[in-house]
Amino acid sequence: MHRVNVPSASRVAEVLIRQSDPANWSEEMWAAHDEDLVELRRVMSNNIYAYTTSTDGSYPEYLSVNANEDGTVEITVRSPRKADGSCGDTATIKLTAKQFDEFVVAIQK
């Protein structure tokens, strides 16, 4: 059995609490936040969120949000299958931790 070293619950809670109001953070807070996210994401799964529209057939549309070890976050989407049945178009955007947090705050409004 493979064991993974994960941060303590209190450490995870501390990181989440510090994420609560990014609009008022100083540059020092962002630097500490980025370091925390890098460590947290290093020891946990890289996938933050995934959604697939269907399971029938090949090449379903999907949305995937993944954390990178450097603290950036990539959001990838794929369009529906093309008329000929081939794979739809795929696009990826990479965000800094700060940009991703601002995105999350914006979509919660």
In this structure, is residue 58 part of a structural domain?
Answer: yes
Q: Is position 4 within any domain?
A: no
Q: How many domains in the chain?
A: 1
Query: What is the Cα–Cα distance from 35 to 29, expressed in whole angstroms?
Result: 10
Q: Which amino acid is at 74?
A: E
Task: Give the distance, in angstroms, between the CA of residue 95 and the centroid of all CA atoms in the same chain.
Answer: 9
Two tokens, residue 41? 């994401």
Report yes or no on 50 lying in a domain: yes
47 belongs to a structural domain: yes
Predicted local distance difference test score (pLDDT) of residue 99: 93
Assigned domain for 35 exists: yes
The domain of 20 spans 9-107
Q: For 50-102, give the DSSP string.
A: EEES-SSSSS--EEEEEE-TTS-EEEEEEPPPPTTS----EEEEEE-HHHHHH
CATH number, domain at 72? 3.30.160
Q: According to the model, what pLDDT value does residue 22 have?
A: 62
Can you give the pLDDT at residue 58? 79
pLDDT tens-place values along the chain, 109 residues long: 333 344 444 455 555 555 556 666 667 766 666 666 665 555 445 888 888 887 667 788 889 898 888 889 999 999 988 888 888 899 999 999 899 999 989 988 7
In tens, the pLDDT along 81-105 reads 888 888 889 999 999 989 999 998 9
d(CA 31, CA 39): 13
Domain assignment present for 1: no
99 in Cβ contact with 30 (< 8 Å)? no
